[in-house]
Chains A and B, each alone.
Chain A
Amino acid sequence: MKIVVCLKRVLDTQERVEIAPDGKRLVSTGLDYVMNTHDECAVEEAIRIKEAKGGQVTVLSLGPSGATETIREAIAMGADEGLLLEAEGDEEAWGPKSTASALAEALKGLEFDLVFFGLESGDGSHHQVGLAVAEALGLPAVDGVKKIDFQDGKIVVRRAVELGEEVFELEPPAVLTLVDGMNRPRHPSLRGIMLAKRKEIKTIKVAPREEPLRLIQLRKPPERAGGEILGEGKGAIPKLLEKLHEAGLVR
Chain B
Amino acid sequence: MGFRGADLYELDSLLNEEQRLIRKTAREFVDEEVLPIIKGAFEVRRFPTELIPRLGELGFLGANLEGYGAAGVDELSYGLVMEELERGDSAIRSFASVQGGLVMWPIYTFGSEEQKERWLPRLARGEAVGCFGLTEPEFGSNPGGLQTRADRDGDYYVLNGVKTWITNATLADVALVWARTDEGIRGFLVERGTPGFTQAKIEHKMSLRTSDTGELVFTDCRIPAENMLPQAQGLKPALMCLNQARYSIAWGAVGAALACYEEARAYALERVQFGRPIGSFQLIQEKLAEMLTEITKAQLLVFRLAQLKEEGRADHVQISLAKRNNVAMAQMVARSAREILGANGITLDYQAVRHLMNLEAVKTYEGTHEIHTLILGEAITGLSAFK
Contact = CB atoms under 8 A, between A and B. Distances in A.
A188 B57 contact: no
Nearest to B29: A187
Contacts of A196: 18
A249 interface: no
B155 interface: no
Given A14-B4, A31-B12, A193 B28 contact: no
Interface stretch (B58-66, B192-200, B333-341): B58-66
B73 to A, nearest CB: 6
A72 B25 CA distance: 14
A192 B12 CA distance: 22
A189 B59 contact: yes
Contact of A187 (B20, B58, B77): B58
A197 interface: yes
B224 interface: no
A190 B59 CA distance: 5
A251 interface: no
B312 interface: no
A175 interface: no
B72 A188 contact: no
A63 to B, nearest CB: 14
A69 B72 contact: no
A189 B25 contact: yes
A194 B24 CA distance: 14
A188 B71 contact: no
B372 to A, nearest CB: 29
Contacts of A189: 25, 57-59, 71
A64 B20 CA distance: 18
Nearest to B32: A187
Provide the main secondary structure of the chain A interface.
helix
Contacts of B77: 190
B76 to A, nearest CB: 13
Interface string B99-126: 0000000000000000000000000000
A197 B63 CA distance: 15
Contacts of B28: 187
A190 B12 contact: no
Nearest to A12: B2
B84 to A, nearest CB: 12
Size class of the contact patch on chain B: 20 to 34
Contact of B73 (A73, A188, A194): A194
Interface in A195-212: 196-197
B49 interface: no
Given A31-B12, A31-B13, A187-B58, A193 B21 contact: yes
Contact of A193 (B12, B13, B22, B57): B22
A190 B13 contact: no
A193 B73 CA distance: 9
B1 interface: yes
Contacts of A53: none
Interface in B174-228: none
Contact of B71 (A31, A72, A73, A191): A191
A76 B71 CA distance: 12
Interface in A51-79: 69, 72-73, 76
A197 B19 CA distance: 11
Interface in B8-36: 12-13, 17-18, 20-22, 24-25, 28-29
A73 B21 contact: yes
Contacts of A187: 24-25, 28-29, 58
Contacts of B60: 190
A140 B63 CA distance: 45
Contacts of B4: 14
A29 B139 CA distance: 53
Nearest to A15: B4
A188 B12 contact: no
Contacts of B1: 14
A14 B24 CA distance: 14
A30 to B, nearest CB: 9
Contact of B59 (A14, A31, A72, A191): A191
Contacts of A72: 17-18, 21
B72 A194 contact: yes
Interface in B52-83: 57-60, 63, 69, 71-73, 77, 81
Contacts of B2: 14
Interface string A71-108: 01100100000000000000000000000000000000
A189 B77 CA distance: 13
B21 A188 contact: yes
Contacts of B25: 187-190, 193
A31 B20 CA distance: 11
A69 B21 CA distance: 9
A193 B25 CA distance: 10
Contacts of B12: 31
Given A187-B24, A189-B59, 15 more contacts: A14-B2, A31-B12, A69-B20, A187-B25, A187-B28, A187-B58, A189-B57, A190-B58, A190-B59, A190-B63, A191-B59, A192-B59, A193-B22, A193-B73, A194-B71
Please name the 4 residue pairs, one residue from A and one from B, whose CB atoms are nearest each other, closest first: A190-B59, A190-B71, A187-B25, A189-B59
11 contacts: A14-B2, A31-B12, A69-B21, A72-B21, A189-B58, A190-B71, A191-B59, A191-B71, A193-B18, A193-B71, A194-B71
